[in-house]
Structure 1
Amino acid sequence: MSDPDLNNYQLSQLDTLEAEAIHIFREVIAEFERPVLLFSGGKDSIVMLRLAQKAFYPANIPMPVLHVDTGQNFQEVLQRRDELVRRLGVQLIVGSVQEAIDNGSVVEPPDGTRNRIQTPVLLDTLEKHRFQAIFGGARRDEDKARAKERVYSFRDEFGQWDPKNQRPELWSLYNSRIHAGESIRVFPLSNWTELDIWHYIARERVELPSIYYAHEREVVDRGGMLYAVGEFITPRDGEEVLTKRVRYRTVGDANLTAAVESDADTIEKIIEEVATTRITERGATRGDDKFSEAAMEDRKREGYF
């Protein structure tokens, strides 16, 4: 007789998402010679690193990690990046936007923001190391342009993305065929939500940079968004410096990423807060997505993640 417990066996939501992501990691490593994992030290990339650990345990993570450093990052995030890389013994490759500015490869915009000029630095770094498959932590719930992505996102020889040229992925079957110079961007977290990420962080006891948790910080209010006063943000004429209790839902450049007012200083409180919000994390906190309705899609067409 069959065991009724086996017949009724079901995976939880998190177990299902984890199993899918691990399957994707293993498929890519089996199919491509030169993979790399984008790793900034933010929450999504840290979850990606944790999944990669699980996918190949007890062996080491079989690929380097890559960070395109704009030179305008939060120090807490860079410290966490370096701590994890050192602990896991993973090779860290850094593509420096500042170096590209210094050698004339890119020109810094007059407003001092570097988000858009990190794309050519990313493409140059990928070409230099001949990476064929690039893991990214993008999720479909983040942005309308993200929602158009497949798990395997085909890029042409110029690193560009065409939303009309996407490969079908029926029954989770992935087409990995590429010609010389082409590449695949891979998104194992595609089907995750921000809430899933936090539930996973809680379950796995993942350590994150402290800025994800509520703390007091000096900020200025610009258009309803709270930017931290510091090296990259200084008060403009007429702006008042406020001390507020805030946290960061996502992290990018310090001069473009806003905080949100919050008392959520534990994972449990953050999960409760995220469960009730109706604004995506990028929509609420990323000034780089406020330039136009299609800001993200425009950057992705150019080669951004």
Structure 2
Amino acid sequence: MPPTDPATDDVADATHYRRPAEAQLPRTIRTLRTQLLAGFHSRDAVLQWLQELAVRTLGEVPTRQYVRFAAEFRPDSEHTEGVLLAAFLDSETRTRDLEPSVADCVRRQWAAEVIAPVQADSFRSLRKDAGEYVGETERDGDGDAGHDPAKQSIAMRPALEELHAFQEVALHRPLNGGLDDRREILDWGDDLVVATRGEPLGDGTPPGAFIRDLHNDPCGDLLLCDDRPHWRRCRQWYLCRNVLPAFNRGVRDLARRTAEEPTTSDGDALGETPEWG
């Protein structure tokens, strides 16, 4: 057995880090990748996971990935999902006849081709503003330096955590049985503006004009309100094609405007300015 390096062991077992935002990112990506490789129990769960991927990677997912994935939600003459979406779904949910080993391979390949580059882009985006922390107790020669990444908000930015919550609400409302009527489409527009931070939708339309057009479209209530299977699938395609890219851009915009705010073990923000590295 090769000798162990005590310094390496200390890093592997550490709970506190001087640059905790950087230490948090690979853990987050690993969790998302584990969820993907396990497969999803519903099409809605895939959309919710794609939204979380956007916020956890600081909005670095290329828009084209959402556009490509949206096509997977459109049924063909025999199946209700494309091959990629079928592979994302577990065997009890997908309608295509895929061998489990094939589905596993497709999911791993997507993780390698999409998530891995996005993780690198996210880290480069994060590192330029990541704070470096030295605890007061360490200056006295006692205690841990830095913070525990597991106890911090997304990228140590509470504003991103808030945006994540806004996006979850804006996505859940139309997915959860659809909206009630055209009046609720207008109400949903309020959520959409906050969740996208006013960024344009996937087709380039500003969110205000997007809601106006949906409200005035004769099929707008069918697309967002009708809970029959066909319209539910159309709604999933529409959200992936138009709304998720705007969420992603909104996250990227906020990540560039907000600063780290570390949280103590009791959940209170420290309110201190870190040393920017």
Give the TM-score band, short-chain normalised: under 0.3
Q: Name whichever structure is richer in strand by fraction.
A: 1
Which structure has more relative contact order (CA 8 Å, sep 6+)? It is: 2
Q: Which has the higher helix share?
A: 2
Relative to the length of structure 1, the TM-score reads 0.22
Q: Greater Rg, structure 1 or structure 2?
A: 2
